[in-house]
């Protein structure tokens, strides 16, 4: 449990970010994650940003400009010195309304699951009430899913009975029940998650960096991270990168758990 880092990305949302950090402090996450393992990347850093990091005893990387999510993400991963890496944007509050709330048990589950699967990505968003989702249709009653629908994990939040809708879903039982999906069932998204740091450093970051170097049309400030990882087959061919892409496709996505983190935007 002492090998977990949480790495935040923040840009001009000091007020909501303070609410996020306060919820993480008040509900026990900072009892698990040591100050040296709480890292914030500030885009266009302000004095208020630095004061906020100091107030919540977090390390920070201060960028005077907005270098984009992709490059900031790479720097956060490279600055992580623990076995496990949580990626969190600045607007994911810990759910305060869960009767069975226990963040320690959730993190215990995550450590066990990540030790069992080096390619796992564990989504920590509240499965039933995750907040805003780009993937959610405006009218969930009128949409039509195909077998290859790429947002099955996120759709659990708007499908009343997903096991009737999709058929049996694989489950793993730890302290909590976790649903298990394949890489093809869920496009990469930035909703809060935890991974093995080695998976990110050895596979994800090299793919991201390669695509930036070889794709001059990629908008790395605003789309580069998700766009690259959602469309790995569009990356310029290179034998070593091809091997990494095949490993990326071994990603297993787990969700459910304690249903704690909620995006307020």
Calculate helix-pair angle for 14-26, 47-55, nearest 10 degrees. Answer: 0
Mean pLDDT of 227-247: 86
pLDDT at position 40 over 80: yes
Strands 84-89 and 92-94: unpaired
Question: Inter-axis angle of helices 69-78 and 205-214, to 10 degrees?
Answer: 140
Confidence of residue 147 (pLDDT cuts 50, 70, 90): low
Question: How far apart, in whole angstroms, are the C-alpha atoms of residue 226 and residue 229?
Answer: 5
Dist. CA 245–CA 265, nearest whole Å: 32
Q: How far is 166 from 244, CA to CA, in rounded Å?
A: 30
Section 112-140 average pLDDT: 88
* pLDDT on residue 225: 86
Q: What confidence score (pLDDT) does residue 141 get?
A: 63
pLDDT tens digit sequence for 173-225: 999 999 999 999 999 988 899 999 999 999 999 999 887 766 656 555 555 78
Q: How many residues does the chain have?
A: 265
3-state helix, strand, coil in the chain (%, to 5): 40, 20, 40
Average pLDDT on 147-163 reads: 84
152/84: higher pLDDT: 84
What 3-state DSSP class applies to 54? helix
Q: What is the pLDDT of residues 130-141, one digit of tens each?
A: 888 888 877 766
Q: What is the mean pLDDT of the chain?
A: 88
Question: Angle, to 10 degrees, between the axis of helix 239-248 and the axis of helix 205-214?
Answer: 130
Where residue 36 falls (left for φ over 0; alpha for ψ -120 to 50; beta otherwise) is alpha
pLDDT value at residue 233? 79
Q: For 151, which DSSP code?
A: B
């Amino acid at each position: 449990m002492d090998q977990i880092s949480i790495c935040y990305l923040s840009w001009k949302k000091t007020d909501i970010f303070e609410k996020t950090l306060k919820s993480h402090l008040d509900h026990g996450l900072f009892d698990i994650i040591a100050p040296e393992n709480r890292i914030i990347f500030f885009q266009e850093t302000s004095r208020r940003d630095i004061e906020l990091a100091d107030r919540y005893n977090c390390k920070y990387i201060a960028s005077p400009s907005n270098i984009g999510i992709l490059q900031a993400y790479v720097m956060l991963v490279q600055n992580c010195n623990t076995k496990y890496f949580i990626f969190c944007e600045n607007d994911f509050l810990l759910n305060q309304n869960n009767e069975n709330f226990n963040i320690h048990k959730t993190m215990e589950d995550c450590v066990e699951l990540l030790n069992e699967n080096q390619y796992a990505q564990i989504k920590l968003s509240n499965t039933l009430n995750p907040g805003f989702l780009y993937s959610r249709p405006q009218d969930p009653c009128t949409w039509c899913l195909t077998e290859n629908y790429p947002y099955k994990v996120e759709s659990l939040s708007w499908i009343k009975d997903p096991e009737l809708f999709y058929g049996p879903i694989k489950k793993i039982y730890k302290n909590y029940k976790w649903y298990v999906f394949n890489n093809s069932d869920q496009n990469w998204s930035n909703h809060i998650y935890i991974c093995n740091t080695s998976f990110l450093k050895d596979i994800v970051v090299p793919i991201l960096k390669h695509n930036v170097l070889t794709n001059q049309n990629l908008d790395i400030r605003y789309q580069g991270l998700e766009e690259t990882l959602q469309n790995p087959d569009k990356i310029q061919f290179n034998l070593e990168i091809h091997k990494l892409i095949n490993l990326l496709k071994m990603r297993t996505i787990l969700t459910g758990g304690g249903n704690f983190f909620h995006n307020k935007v």
